[in-house]
């Protein structure tokens, strides 16, 4: 990674920028920029964000982003042989960034068909047992966001004596600039990507909405049709939960 790191550092110094100035311009944290310039890519929160940060940094220094990312991939493939960002701690353990996408494992092929068939049959039996609905839960699909539906436990209806508590939570996100967002509705993850400026994303839930955003100042939204108040300052990473009971605290 030394060549990519040295090239970025040399370009920054030649342009006369400090690390702090680049951080203010790109919204990338100083500690992450320093890790990039030292070639310590294992300090970044996953390969996806490593490439995104490199593109943003290169674009700010007027370097070709695709060339920088290609050099990063080439050096990673030829000198390391594995993802240099593997093993990065999850959010809450020092990175301040969302968790990397879950790894997928592939079963090794065997020379005998019967052990595989027996193993598959055992899995089907276990899955059929797990798929049985609990007696106290409704199996009707509940809306959990804009990307699909999933089975969710039906939340109890709000008390009839308090009409101010809505039966459904609906948030519409309209970021003012690019910002990464992870979000869940009623415990089901519905967002895990970078939202672009001007994009509109709507998510609905019965009981609660949970979000983690990488730039709180860029996260603009409305709740059940009413404008929401800021969840933090520009560049801050914020986590928050919206329920029917605390909905009013997110309004100006």
pLDDT digits (tens, 9 = 90+) for 101-118: 444 434 333 334 444 455
* Domain architecture of the chain: domains with CATH: 2-80 (1.10.260.40), 142-250 (no CATH)
pLDDT at 97 over 50: no
| Helix (H) and strand (E) counts in the chain | 6, 10
pTM over 0.75: no
Read off the pLDDT of residues 216-239 as tens digits, 9 standing for 90 and up: 888 999 989 999 999 999 988 889
Average predicted confidence (pLDDT) for the chain: 75
pLDDT band at 47 (very low <50, low <70, confident <90, very high): confident
Give pLDDT, residue 17. Answer: 95
Determine contact, residues 85/99, Cβ cutoff 8 Å: no
Six token digits for residue 60 = 């700010």
Q: What pLDDT, in 10s, does the model give residues 192-211?
A: 888 898 899 898 999 998 99
Confidence band for 128, pLDDT divided at 50, 70 and 90:
low
pLDDT of residue 45: 87
Predicted confidence at residue 157, as pLDDT, reads: 53
Tell me what the mean pLDDT of segment 58-81 comes to.
82
Coil vs helix vs strand at 189: strand
Percentage above 90 pLDDT, the chain: 42
What is the phi/psi pair of residue 57, to 5°?
Answer: -65, -45
Report pLDDT for 99.
43
- Residue 27 CA to residue 216 CA, distance in Å, equals 11
- pLDDT at residue 181 in the model: 86
DSSP string of 153-184?
Answer: PPPPPPPTT-TTS-S-EEEEE--SS-EEEEEE
- 136 or 17: whose pLDDT is higher? 17
């Amino acid at each position: 990674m030394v060549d990519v790191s040295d090239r970025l550092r040399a370009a920054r110094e030649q342009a006369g920028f400090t690390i702090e100035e680049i951080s203010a311009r790109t919204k990338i944290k100083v500690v992450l920029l320093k890790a990039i310039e030292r070639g310590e890519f294992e300090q970044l929160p996953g390969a996806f964000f490593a490439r995104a940060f490199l593109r943003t940094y290169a674009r700010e220094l007027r370097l070709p982003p695709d060339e920088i990312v290609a050099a990063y991939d080439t050096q990673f493939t030829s000198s390391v042989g594995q993802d240099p960002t593997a093993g990065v701690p999850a959010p809450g353990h020092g990175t301040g960034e969302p968790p990397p996408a879950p790894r997928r494992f592939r079963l090794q092929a065997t020379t005998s068909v019967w052990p595989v068939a027996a193993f598959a049959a055992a899995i089907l039996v276990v899955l059929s047992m797990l798929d049985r609905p609990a007696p106290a839960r409704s199996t009707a699909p509940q809306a959990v966001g804009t990307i699909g539906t999933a089975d969710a436990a039906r939340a109890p209806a709000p008390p009839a004596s308090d009409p101010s508590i809505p039966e459904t939570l609906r948030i519409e996100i309209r970021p003012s600039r690019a910002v990464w967002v992870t979000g869940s509705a009623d415990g089901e993850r519905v967002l895990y990507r970078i939202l672009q400026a001007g994009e509109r994303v709507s998510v609905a839930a019965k009981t609660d909405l949970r979000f983690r955003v990488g730039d709180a100042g860029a996260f603009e939204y409305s709740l059940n049709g009413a404008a929401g108040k800021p969840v933090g300052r520009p560049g801050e990473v914020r986590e928050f939960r919206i329920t029917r009971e605390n909905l009013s605290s997110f309004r100006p």
